[in-house]
């Protein structure tokens, strides 16, 4: 136990995670299996992430729409790999309006089936393409070992679904959206990620290629942060979405889909947190600055609170998300610990002597360094100060990730290194799925990604010794 009352993240990271989520009031378990109640502090992080994504979707020409929650089972089943991948996880509605339904309805585990079934009506000519659509939605995949934010039966996400006239255009779209995800992970959530391609065994059900961004959490385990799929013509064929091209030929449409979910709130906790709790990137911190007034007498209280409220107004005017913590029932030390736990990037302490001297004390959640700043300069300097903290969190995460990214020199070095310190391990792979499965069985690691373009390593597979055909990066992962 540290002074925060949290389990130590170094000693027991899973216990630390559970306690941070609970005590920082981010989320809790709901009454039905695997469900999650997202509390306001957790939901606000998601809202800010949503806004960052949505702005970028619109800037790249996408529009939002909304498809129904319930998908007739017969419709879900048309793409064989897709249904095989999802059927075991599906929740099924069998009664509605007091009657047994003739056809059971699946709660969407993902919406390719219902969307492509509709695209058939929306697409006739190449002039109708591309369709560049996204929806914000809840989805459900039955989960036996739930973990808040990371693995829950219901989760919130966006799912993009696009249709194109050519393979090249669809592939460019899948990679464009992967890069949008990389931008949001890195520039907004301050989580450095490796973009890459999944091995065939890790592909989305029904996809020709699955692209991923992979981050590293503070326990040196990897987390898949977002995926973008090149669907080829698989859904175009399964749902008979055809169009007349400019030459008058009938073709099946090419597709992509891509998703980013509330799991990323969990990633933000696990990529930045420390012994005192959350460290939130200012870009998604629901409260960026908290002002904690310090006083003893009623006279002091009046004077300090008046100055604090002026400061709050200045910061709000500067576009900062600021909270003045004027609760009387708690001591300043209690408040310091609470806002550290909740990850607020900057704390402003203001006592009677500060007011008299026309200054405040600013404390960064990173490192905890204290700085006296003239009251008049607090608001004007805050945007830059928050940008510095955002950059410092990202630099810190990059340094950690780089220190935990290794080249594989031998299978034994890889297996031992994984046991000792986790991290990413990159080396030559033969491309054989059985070899991949054997390595996973022996190490509990999986291929997190291959390079976007296959890269011949020029050396033998680190496990089976056959010629290497691609360069795989492995890790133990969530």
Residue 465, φ and ψ in degrees, nearest 5: 80, -5
Q: Angle 468-474-478 (CA atoms, 0-180°, nearest 5)?
A: 155
Query: Which DSSP symbol is given to 241?
Result: -
Residues 36-65 that bind its own copies (CB under 8 A): 36-40, 42-44, 47, 63-65
Query: Judged by CB, which is closer to its own copies: 13, or 258?
Result: 258
Helix or strand holding residue 458 (H, E): none
Judged by CB under 8 A, the residue of 5, 11, 66, 84 near its own copies is 66
| Per CB under 8 A, 417 contacts its own copies | no
* Three-state DSSP state, 239: coil
301 binds its own copies (CB under 8 A): no
Q: Which of residues 320-359 bind its own copies (CB under 8 A)?
A: 329
Does residue 319 bind its own copies (CB under 8 A)? Answer: no
Interface pick for its own copies out of 18, 52, 70, 244 (rule CB under 8 A): 70
Residue 118 found at the interface with its own copies (CB under 8 A): yes
- Look up residue 212 and give its two tokens: 């991923």
Element (H, E) at 376: helix 375-403
84 binds its own copies (CB under 8 A): no
Closest CA to 343 of 266, 277, 271, 438: 277
Q: Identify which of residues 319 and 358 has a Cβ nearer to its own copies in the complex.
A: 319
Query: Looking at 6, 105, 289, 450, which residue binds its own copies (CB under 8 A)?
Result: 105
Candidate ranges 25-33, 161-169, 290-298, 412-420; the one touching its own copies (CB under 8 A)? 25-33
H/E stretch holding 42 reads helix 40-59
Instruction: Using the rule CB under 8 A, give the single segment among 114-122, 172-180, 201-209, 271-279 that binds its own copies.
Output: 114-122
Q: Which stretch binds its own copies (CB under 8 A): 112-120, 200-208, 451-459, 466-474?
A: 112-120
Q: Is 72 in the site for its own copies (CB under 8 A)?
A: yes
CA distances from 328 to 332, 347, 455 (A): 10, 18, 62
Residue 444 falls in which region: left (phi positive, over 0), alpha (psi -120 to 50) or beta: left
Of the pair 98, 458, the CB lying nearest its own copies is at 98
Q: How far is the CB of 80 from its own copies (least distance, A)?
A: 18
Of 7 and 146, which has the nearer Cβ to its own copies? Answer: 146
Give the interface size with its own copies as a residue count (CB under 8 A): 56
Phi first, then psi: what are they for 252, rounded to 5°? -85, 140
Min separation Cβ 431 and its own copies, Å: 33
- Specify the residue, 153 or 228, whose C-beta has the smaller distance to its own copies: 153
Query: Which residue in 16, 17, 57, 67 binds its own copies (CB under 8 A)?
Result: 67
Contacting residue, 6, 71, 269, 271, with its own copies by CB under 8 A: 71
- Put residue 97 in one of left, alpha, beta given phi > 0 → left and psi -120 to 50 → alpha: left
| Nearby residues of 365 by Cβ (< 8 Å), 6 or more positions away | 279, 280, 340, 343, 344, 345, 346, 347, 389
Positive or negative, the CA dihedral 410, 412, 413, 415 is positive
Residues 248-287 as x/- pattern, contact with its own copies by CB under 8 A? ----------------------------------------
Q: Which is nearer to its own copies, 143 or 219 (CB)?
A: 143
Our finding on whether 69 is near its own copies (CB under 8 A) is yes
Q: In which order are the strands placed within the sheet that holds 254-261?
A: 63-64, 131-140, 154-164, 254-261, 222-232, 209-216, 193-197
Q: Is 85 in the site for its own copies (CB under 8 A)?
A: no
Residues in the chain: 478
Cα–Cα dist 437/445, whole Å: 10
CA distances to 4, 186, 354 from 280, in Å: 17, 13, 27
Q: For residue 22, state whether it binds its own copies (rule: CB under 8 A).
A: no
Chain centroid, CA 81 distance in Å:
26
**Does residue number 138 form part of the binding site for its own copies (CB under 8 A)?**
yes
Q: CB of 326 within 8 A of CB of 261?
A: no
Residue 96 touches its own copies, criterion: CB under 8 A: yes
Site string for its own copies, 146-165 (x = CB under 8 A): -------xx-x---------
For 277, list phi and psi in degrees, rounded to 5.
Answer: 130, -140
Tokens of 120: 């058939």
Q: Is 35 in the site for its own copies (CB under 8 A)?
A: yes
Q: Is 462 in the site for its own copies (CB under 8 A)?
A: no
**Which residues make beta-bridge pairs with 290?**
323, 347
Binding-site ranges for its own copies (CB under 8 A): 28, 30-33, 35-40, 42-44, 47, 63-72, 75, 87-98, 104-105, 107, 114, 117-118, 127, 133, 137-138, 140, 142-144, 153-154, 156, 329
């Amino acid at each position: 136990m540290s002074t925060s009352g949290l389990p130590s993240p170094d000693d027991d990271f899973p216990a630390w995670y559970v306690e941070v989520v609970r005590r920082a009031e981010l989320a809790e378990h709901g009454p039905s299996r695997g469900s999650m109640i997202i509390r306001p502090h957790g939901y606000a992080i998601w809202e800010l992430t949503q806004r960052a994504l949505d702005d970028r979707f619109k800037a790249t020409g996408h529009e939002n729409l909304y498809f129904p929650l319930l998908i007739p089972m017969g419709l879900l089943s048309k793409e064989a790999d897709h249904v095989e991948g999802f059927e075991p996880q599906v929740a099924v509605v069998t009664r509605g309006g007091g009657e047994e339904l003739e056809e059971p309805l699946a709660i969407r585990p993902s919406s390719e089936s219902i969307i492509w079934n509709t695209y058939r009506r929306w697409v006739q000519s190449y002039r109708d393409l591309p369709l560049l659509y996204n929806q914000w939605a809840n989805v459900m995949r039955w989960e036996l070992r739930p973990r808040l934010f990371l693995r829950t039966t219901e989760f919130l996400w966006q799912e993009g679904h696009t249709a194109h006239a050519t393979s090249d255009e669809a592939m460019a779209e899948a990679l464009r959206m992967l890069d949008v995800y990389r931008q949001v992970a890195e520039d907004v959530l301050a989580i450095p990620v490796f973009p890459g391609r999944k091995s065939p065994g890790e592909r989305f059900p029904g996809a020709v290629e699955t692209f991923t961004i992979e981050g590293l959490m503070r326990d040196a385990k990897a987390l898949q942060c977002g995926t973008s799929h090149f669907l080829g013509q698989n859904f175009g064929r399964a749902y008979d979405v055809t169009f007349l091209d400019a030459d008058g030929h009938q073709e099946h449409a090419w597709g992509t889909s891509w998703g980013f979910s509330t799991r990323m709130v969990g990633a933000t906790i696990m990529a930045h947190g420390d012994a005192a709790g959350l460290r939130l990137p200012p870009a998604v911190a629901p409260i960026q600055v908290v002002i904690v007034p310090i006083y003893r007498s009623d006279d002091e209280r009046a004077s300090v609170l008046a100055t604090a409220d002026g400061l709050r107004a200045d910061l709000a005017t500067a576009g900062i998300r600021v909270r003045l913590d004027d609760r009387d029932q708690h001591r300043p030390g209690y408040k310091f610990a609470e806002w550290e736990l909740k990850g607020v990037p900057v704390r402003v302490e203001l006592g009677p002597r500060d007011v008299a001297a026309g200054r405040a004390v600013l404390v960064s959640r990173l490192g905890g360094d204290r700085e006296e700043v003239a009251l008049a300069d607090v608001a004007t300097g805050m945007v830059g100060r928050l940008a510095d903290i955002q950059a410092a969190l990202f630099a810190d995460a990059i340094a950690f990730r780089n220190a935990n990214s290794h080249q594989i020199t031998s299978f034994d070095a890889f297996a031992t290194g994984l046991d000792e310190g986790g991290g990413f391990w990159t080396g030559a792979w033969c491309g054989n799925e059985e070899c991949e499965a054997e390595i996973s069985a022996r190490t509990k690691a999986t291929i997190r990604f291959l390079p976007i373009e296959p890269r011949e390593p020029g050396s033998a597979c680190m496990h089976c010794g056959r010629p290497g055909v691609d360069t795989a990066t492995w890790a133990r992962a969530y």
